[in-house]
């Protein structure tokens, strides 16, 4: 029997229902889903993952005006920046505070469940239905991964079966009351969806906003890594790289290509070879002019670049630009050598009201992929797994494979590690550079603090702030609306 889903009616029903975990779950207005292509369209949710307070918490960003932070103008950002454990974050998890990530994830999950339940009854060919079902399951897993790693405690194999997690929905049901699962329950569903999806995910997708098989392997690796299943994480990482660089058509972005093109344009076309290359490098007299001239024409990176296994916006389609990056992160870059700095950072003057040493990241021509997964992340997962297995040679190989594409060629030299611990630290530092302003800074802080019992410190204005591994700040509170309309027990404060 053919099913016709009317999105406008569903949206209206949810607006006035007491169902717990779907907020604004479908596009407003009426849209009839009848054809397979209609359901496939639900895969492309252009609203991304509104990350911001997480970047303050993990120490990646600051404000252009520190009085905003000091005065708690945006309270959740300030509480995150100062690691203020006495601040009642839960009372600010509102529409005007920060419940957007929770709502966004459950909205995407609702779309996935609509596809999973109905696409086989739609009008279309079987191949599209099969791949669409797989894509919906892998995206459902991805959104539950976001939720469990934000609103529940970090995964610990000793306690995951007992610790409260999130509400899990495997069906699109207007009446069913959600039940709060454990952390282990959430990971079981995530990993089951991944395994169900992988065989039928397409090698290539219609565009970067739809998942492919490479993304499926990447998420598999990430789930295993976060559960500390290192052998499985390594194998999935290697499977991803093989798939991505063959049938998937993905490759690492070689930033030297665009850099050299921009340099040639400025040196040879604009200045007819009259000035040496050193004048256009960091510290040279023409560096600022060179970047201004090259940025819009050459220092660009599009949504559909082959490095993106799955592209998702952040807070909006321009996120994270512009953003003030904190000094401890900036100190990880060598400005003269690292093209991530050349392309993105320090193009605006230092602001006297900003945190000392912070640098603005601002290149609107770079599509950052705040919410998705890049191939370079998979290389870093492989590197981390090798470091954990005390194979420092292979750990450095995968780190250096990335760096060859990020460091100006004439300055490039392989990094080496004398010990597995040193290799692990190099991997962690590279993750901070390469995965800056994504979900990973926050997620990494959670898992490393928990696993390695790390206590973090932060310095500002003569004060030292401390974050202990058991801090409730590593888990975000559920939004007020979710607590009011469900039987959820709050996981944080």
Return the pLDDT at 18: 32
Q: Across all residues in the chain, what is the average pLDDT?
A: 92
Across the range 172-177, mean pLDDT stands at 74
Return the pLDDT at 177: 77
Per the CB < 8 A criterion, the answer to whether 62 and 354 are in contact is yes
Helix (H) or strand (E) holding 381: helix 375-388
**In the chain, % of residues over pLDDT 70:** 92
Return the pLDDT at 190: 98
5-19, 110-124, 146-160, 389-403: the lowest-pLDDT one: 5-19
**Per-residue pLDDT for 368 more than 70?**
yes
| Helix boundaries (H) for 152-212 | 183-197
**Per-residue pLDDT for 20 more than 70?**
no
Return the pLDDT at 425: 98
Return the pLDDT at 21: 39
Instruction: Establish whether the linkage from the previous residue to 68 is cis, with ω within 30° of 0.
Output: no
Return the pLDDT at 485: 84
Task: Please give the Cα distance from 424 to 173 (Å, whole number).
Answer: 45
Across the range 357-364, mean pLDDT stands at 92
Return the pLDDT at 16: 29
Task: Please give the Cα distance from 98 to 74 (Å, whole number).
Answer: 10
Return the pLDDT at 178: 82
Residue of 383, 255, 254, 240 lying closest to 309 (CA atoms):
240
**In the chain, % of residues over pLDDT 90:** 84
pLDDT band at 149; cut points 50, 70, 90: very high
Chain centroid offset of residue 394 CA? 25
pLDDT band at 410; cut points 50, 70, 90: very high
Q: If you count DSSP H runs as helices and E runs as strands, how many of each does the chain have, helices first?
A: 19, 11
**Per-residue pLDDT for 189 more than 50?**
yes
Give 475: exposed, middle or buried? Use CB within 10 Å, 0-12, 13-18, 19+: buried
Task: Please give the Cα distance from 283 to 334 (Å, whole number).
Answer: 12
**Per-residue pLDDT for 480 more than 90?**
yes
Task: Please give the Cα distance from 397 to 402 (Å, whole number).
Answer: 9
Return the pLDDT at 100: 87
pLDDT band at 174; cut points 50, 70, 90: low
- pLDDT tens track for 238-291: 999 999 999 999 999 999 999 999 999 999 999 999 999 999 999 999 999 999
- Residue 350: other Cβ atoms inside 10 A: 12
- pLDDT tens track for 97-127: 566 899 999 999 999 999 999 999 999 999 9
Return the pLDDT at 406: 98
- pLDDT tens track for 47-102: 899 999 999 999 999 999 999 999 999 999 999 999 999 999 999 998 655 668 99
- pLDDT tens track for 434-448: 999 999 999 999 999
CA distances from 39 to 12, 44, 200, 212, 372 (A): 19, 10, 17, 17, 21
């Amino acid at each position: 029997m053919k099913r016709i889903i009317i999105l406008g009616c569903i949206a209206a029903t949810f607006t006035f229902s007491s169902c717990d975990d779907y907020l604004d779950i479908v596009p407003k207005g009426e849209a009839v889903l009848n054809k397979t292509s209609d359901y496939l369209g639900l895969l492309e949710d252009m609203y991304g993952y509104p990350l911001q307070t997480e970047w303050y918490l993990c120490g990646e960003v600051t404000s252009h005006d520190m009085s905003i932070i000091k005065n708690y103008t945006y309270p959740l950002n300030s509480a995150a920046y100062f690691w203020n454990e006495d601040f009642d974050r839960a009372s600010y998890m509102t529409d005007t505070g920060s419940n957007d990530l929770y709502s966004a994830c459950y909205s995407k999950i609702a779309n996935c469940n609509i596809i999973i339940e109905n696409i086989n009854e739609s009008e279309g060919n079987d191949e599209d239905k099969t791949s669409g079902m797989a894509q919906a399951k892998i995206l459902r897993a991805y959104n539950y991964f976001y939720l469990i790693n934000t609103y529940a405690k970090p995964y610990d194999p000793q306690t995951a079966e007992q610790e409260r997690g999130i509400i899990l929905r495997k069906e699109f049901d207007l009446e069913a009351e959600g039940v709060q699962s454990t952390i282990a329950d959430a990971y079981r569903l995530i990993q089951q969806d991944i395994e169900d999806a992988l065989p039928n995910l397409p090698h290539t997708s219609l565009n970067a906003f739809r998942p492919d098989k490479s993304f499926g392997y990447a998420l598999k690796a990430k789930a295993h890594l976060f559960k500390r299943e290192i052998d499985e994480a390594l194998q999935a990482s290697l499977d991803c790289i093989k798939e991505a660089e063959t049938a998937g058509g993905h490759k690492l972005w070689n930033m030297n290509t665009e850099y050299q093109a921009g340099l040639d344009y400025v040196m040879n076309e604009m200045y007819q070879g009259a000035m040496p290359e050193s004048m256009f490098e960091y510290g040279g007299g023409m560096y600022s002019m060179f970047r201004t001239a090259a940025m819009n024409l050459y220092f660009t990176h599009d949504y559909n670049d082959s490095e993106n296994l799955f592209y998702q916006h952040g807070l909006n389609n321009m996120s994270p630009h512009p953003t003030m990056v904190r000094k401890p992160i900036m100190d990880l870059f060598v400005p003269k050598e690292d093209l991530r700095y050349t392309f993105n950072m320090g193009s605006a003057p230092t602001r006297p009201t900003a945190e000392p040493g912070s640098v603005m990241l601002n290149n609107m021509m770079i599509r950052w992929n705040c919410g998705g997964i890049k191939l370079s992340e998979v290389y870093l997962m492989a590197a981390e797994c090798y470091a954990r297995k005390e194979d420092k040679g292979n750990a450095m190989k995968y780190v250096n494979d990335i760096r060859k594409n990020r460091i100006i060629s004439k300055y490039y030299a392989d990094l080496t590690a004398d010990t597995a611990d040193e290799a692990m630290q190099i991997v962690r530092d590279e993750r901070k550079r390469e995965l800056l302003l994504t979900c990973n800074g926050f997620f990494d802080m959670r898992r490393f603090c928990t696993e390695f019992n790390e206590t973090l410190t932060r310095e500002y204005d003569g004060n030292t702030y401390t974050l202990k591994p058991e801090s409730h700040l590593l888990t975000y509170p559920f939004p007020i609306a979710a607590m009011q309309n469900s039987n959820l027990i709050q996981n944080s404060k």
